[in-house]
Amino acid sequence: MADINNSTSTLFCVGTNHESAGLDFRESLFLSREEINYALPQLIAKHGLKEVLVLSTCNRLEVYGVVDNPDITPHQLKDIFIDLQKFCPNQKKELDEEIKNRSYQHTQKEAARHAFSVASGLDSLVLGETQIAGQFKDAAQFAIEGATLGPILKRMTQEAFAASKKVRTNTDIGKKPVSISHAAIDLANRVYGQLKNCRVLIIGAGEMAEIAAKYLLKYQPKQVFICNRTLTRAENLVAKVGIGIAYPWEELNEVLPLADVIISCTGANEIILEKARIQKSQHNRSGKAIFLIDIALPRDIDPKCTEIDDVYLFDIDDLKQVVGENYDERRKAAEIGRHIIVENADNFEKWMASRTLKPTLATFRDYLESLVKQEMQKSLSRSPLNQLEDAQTKALEMMMKSIISKMAGDVGRSVHNPTENFDSTELTDALKILFTLDKTS
């Protein structure tokens, strides 16, 4: 007999992003992959998480998970988010109240809808940005490697990637690639005037740096410098993009005064451009204005740099002023995209429901088969059916199997597609009561 699982798995999402919290708070919450891996075993043990995936980017920190608790509350979800911080090796300052006030929580269909929107770039600071899809895939891969991605999150991530592809295929939102890096370059061009008259320094050689360097080609700056802790990576980026001069980290102080615009996007866990360093650089520039754009999280550039004369510092949240370019066009495409998201979320909800229906329907079929077998044995042992030939007995058994399949099939279709004023859960509960399936063994 199939076992009936009376508990209901709940998919949830709890997190904070650029809409719910400012840069200072997001920076205080930011977790590296190492910190996440350290905290997860304790988080899973304390909260009974069956599955979990953590997405940490410059604009959001989110926990997606599954618990066997159909009545989990927003307060409990906030506790999960709070404990993720507390279980880190370097415990952050007490953030309980701020997390409670600045986090959002979703469950079941709404959690899936949110995940699909995130992966599609429809929940991003830069509407329709492309980088988030790769970050979401990385988070899923980390969960696979950590054995925390179970059947529900696996299905959710697959549907998220499918939704992202469908949105970009069926709308115009992907016609002009956009990202934080794109917005940073557009901002630099806006504040400086024309980038073709200036020298640009990119600090870092990762994905964000590569996107920025490639996009710089559009504005044809006078000169491009790329500085990275690993010189080989900087050299590889220069070769790949076809512009720029690579500098080793040890020569950062020498190249700083040469740059009119600095875009910093490293993965460092601490400030790399301190106020004193920028002051010294400005002294060598004879007071010529410099524009600093920090798109890293945690931040690369000391916010106190704004206290220096002729130094203009912009961070991730400042990019909001440039994401309005072509916004109306992207917004219209996003509206179409959101309809796609809703449709995919509806389908995911049906899949989730089918997981709870299948055990009951399987047990109902087992019940029918057991009942028929029992009654057949009784009837075939008594006259006149005990006089049937083997061929006739087999024919009778086939007929009963056909009836079982018809009954089970009709019930299954009715449960999966309930009539008005009923839902699937109510019908499966009725089956359990009518045929005492919970007691069936």
Domain ranges in the chain are 10-176+331-351, 180-321, 359-389+399-439
CB-CB contact of 400 with 376 (8 Å) = yes
Close Cβ partners of 361 (under 8 Å, ≥ 6 residues apart): 408, 411, 412, 415, 428, 431
Closest CA relative to residue 224, chosen from 206, 208, 247: 247
pLDDT in tens, 19-34: 999 999 999 899 999 9
Exactly one of 58, 198, 227, 305 is catalytic; name it.
58
Is the domain covering 10-176+331-351 a CATH 3.30.460.30 domain? yes
Res 92: pLDDT: 63
Is pTM beyond 0.85? Reply is no
Q: How far is CA 385 from CA 245, 379, 389, 393, in A?
A: 94, 6, 9, 9
Quick check: 388 pLDDT over 90?
A: no
CA gap 84, 197 in Å, rounded? 47
pLDDT in tens, 343-354: 999 999 888 877
Mean pLDDT along residues 57-76? 94
Quick check: 175 pLDDT over 80?
A: no
Quick check: 440 pLDDT over 60?
A: no
Mean pLDDT along residues 57-78? 94
Residue 350 phi, psi (nearest 5): -65, -40
Res 321: pLDDT: 66
Q: Which of 139-148, 332-341, 405-414 has the highest mean pLDDT?
A: 139-148
Q: What is the mean pLDDT of the chain?
A: 89
Q: Which class would CATH give 180-321?
A: alpha beta
**Is position 58 annotated as part of the catalytic site?**
yes
Mean pLDDT along residues 314-341? 81
Any idea what DSSP says for residue 273?
B
Quick check: 403 pLDDT over 50?
A: yes
Mean pLDDT along residues 196-220? 93
Mean pLDDT along residues 123-130? 87
Res 4: pLDDT: 33
Q: Which two tokens stand for residue 284?
A: 């060598």
Res 5: pLDDT: 40
Higher model confidence: residue 225 or residue 438?
225
pLDDT in tens, 250-292: 999 999 999 999 999 998 989 999 999 999 999 999 879 999 9
Q: Could you tell me the pLDDT band of residue 44, with boundaries at 50, 70 and 90?
A: very high
Res 324: pLDDT: 61
Q: Could you tell me the pLDDT band of residue 245, with boundaries at 50, 70 and 90?
A: very high
Quick check: 91 pLDDT over 90?
A: no
Res 89: pLDDT: 83
CA gap 393, 382 in Å, rounded? 13
